[in-house]
Structure 1
């Protein structure tokens, strides 16, 4: 909170009230157990706060926001011999037993791979040999590059294998050493992936209420990859298993805006946050805008479907990503503001389509005095 930026107190109060509203509603009525918000600008946290069971510094599962964390490690490799246009088979020769020769790394990152629901789950995914065996058995549902369809989890494992083969380092360690530690963000109270169970004891574990709330946790449908357990979080699922705080994510997105010390090659960094690579419909015809690693806000009239999470008040250049249950992280190059909202509760509707993300983003974008 050390920034000289002036905050609109009424707008901030409206944001706080909206975050608190879902806690006050209660789990039994579609609310959340805990949540946290953070706003940052010029590298500083402007405001951070926790509600319900969460404090501002309570670690929470990042779900699909994790994708934008992990892919920043790939940007490091793109400064060398690796390129988004490289074919996956050049790095993993037996991937899909050679049946997808034209599949590229860029297609994986932009959800154009054509295999969104390839099967793999916890605890099997914890074993690399099992993952590689699954890779060989997977097949595409459509030609890679033909159409956009969100790949929730499977692509992350392929990207993790690529990181390991190119760098010679465990994918979790590579992310930590090359990105999170240099930024001073490493650890569950910042941003992390695959920390040991002993380091995860303060995490506010997730409630999966997508199919309805039940007071007995054992009666609820478990989350994929064991993401509602310490064991599952320790695995470090690269597409949805990150752990951190809202302030840690907001600070990371500040780094995505400024590229401090040129941590990433400047051309690669600009490409990752601003070059539109996907501009077309999703499977049900909603307008989709994506860079290599992020959703783009684009024109307000097109912000529905996955882009709904940006709300109505950010600039068109804003980039970010949602997470199941209404989580959201974004950065706006026009204002320099970054925002993150985390919650440990997944309710219907699934994925990132809960209206709370849209409403919170719209309020957060108005917190700066203009």
Structure 2
């Protein structure tokens, strides 16, 4: 059973949302769209907690994994718009310790587009390392780059939260979670936290992980995990201290400030964060910053971490069409390892298939969260079907060329 708001003209989204429960294995989820700043879809449904059979309600929250990167990136752009953070200045001007081992010319721009060359750390991360901000930033400052910074990109899947997050902290004088609350979530009245207050814990739906089989280790990413423990993919995936062994479902994991991975919100929070960005920047960023935010900054046919073609703006994902270029798409469905939006859109996928983005050309903001993770590295059929329904509702015709077009 689903509940909430669906305005006339957006029935396709409601139908796709219901179909996810009826035939695609959805357990609990929420989806929200705004167009021109007006909420046109705000739906939720299913089960929040399978152990207790608690329903997913209007106020249910869930961890959104790498959708958090969009929030962290937005913090950096707010500071840039305020003149407090120069994205093209060497990081060493604010964070001198980071300049070690040939990283002296790294800029915040490189941190945002995943080219700063510290996508992981080599030495074992202590169990509580991800919950210790100073420990992680010190480790990253001490790390040798995996390539010459700025020359290629590899998804900084876990480290992004401390590279970009530390620049936010040093430029603002506040912790990342505090800055996000004070400058973005608070003013926009969003249920969205990087570092969840304890009084909100009862609202969080536990995540149900997707279980891979040994036979699934055939994609480049999965092969690296299985055969080369010193590879960038393996270090990113496994060398995360206690986070790797279920931290996403713990109070400690929710309370920490992990700017790459532990944001907690719902679809309304994601769509609400991106709504000003879809409509001129609002009070968050000026026009120059907004233009800069959405342009492709780095792209590759073989991401050093994800081992698929990727396209990144400054802290955000752009449309990525890997339907014919990914082995995962053949194994688990064409929407795995892709996220297909409009050409002007930018946002971020979270592990398992959550998504938030803005499309300034359409005046659209979008959020989708769920508690049952799907396979693949980017979207899966549940989330992409909602994106597709949103664009079709706005009169877009097809995504044959890798982006939605009218």
Query: TM-score, normalising length from structure 1?
Result: 0.82
Counterpart of 1:110 (choices 94, 109, 113) is 113
- Residue 328 (str. 1) matches residue 355 (str. 2): yes
SS of the residue 2:140 aligns to: helix
Within the alignment, does 1:339 sit opposite 2:348 as a pair? no
CA RMSD of aligned residues (A): 3.0
Taking the aligned partners of 1:256 and 1:264, their CA distance within structure 2 comes to 8
Corresponding position of 1:73: 75
Q: 2:344 aligns with which of 301, 305, 317?
A: 317
Q: Distance in 2 between matches of 1:250 and 1:77?
A: 21
Per-residue deviation, 1:239: 0.5
1:294 counterpart = 2:295: no
Cα distance in 2 between the residues matched to 1:116 and 1:32 = 32
Give the 3 Å change call, closer, same or farther, for CA 180–13 of structure 1 in structure 2.
closer
SS at match of 1:84: coil
Structure 1 unaligned blocks of 5 or more = 26-30, 213-221
DSSP 3-state at the match of 1:322: strand
Output the CA distance in 1 between the equivalents of 2:336 and 2:154: 14
User: In the aligned structure 1, how far is the partner of 2:325 from the partner of 2:57?
Assistant: 31
Distance 1:14 1:303 in 2: 29
Counterpart-to-counterpart distance in 2, 1:252 and 1:46 = 15
CA distance in 1, matches of 2:26, 2:18: 14
Change (3 A) 1:18 1:110: farther
| Whole-angstrom CA distance in 2 between matches of 1:118 and 1:345 | 29
The separation in 2 between residues aligned to 1:329 and 1:75, in whole angstroms, is 17
Structure 2 residue aligned with 1:88: 91
State the TM-score, normalized to the length of structure 2. 0.76
**SS class of match (2:357):** strand
Moved more, 301-310 or 248-257: 301-310
Residues 79-158 of structure 1 mapped to structure 2, 5 A cutoff: 79-95=82-98, 97-118=100-121, 120=125, 123-158=128-163
Aligned to 1:218: none
Unpaired segments ≥5 residues, structure 2: 48-55, 214-241, 330-334, 397-406
Checking the alignment, whether the CA contact within 8 Å between 2:299 and 2:312 is kept in structure 1 is yes
State the distance in 1 between where 2:146 and 2:321 align: 31
Which whole-Å CA distance do the structure 1 matches of 2:139 and 2:133 have between them? 10
- Aligned partners of 1:2 and 1:44 also within 8 Å: no
Q: 2:262 aligned with 1:241, yes or no?
A: yes
Shift of 1:2: 8.6
Aligned match for 1:160, one of 150, 165, 172: 165
Contact 2:344 2:361 in 1 (8 A): yes
Alignment length, in residue pairs? Answer: 345
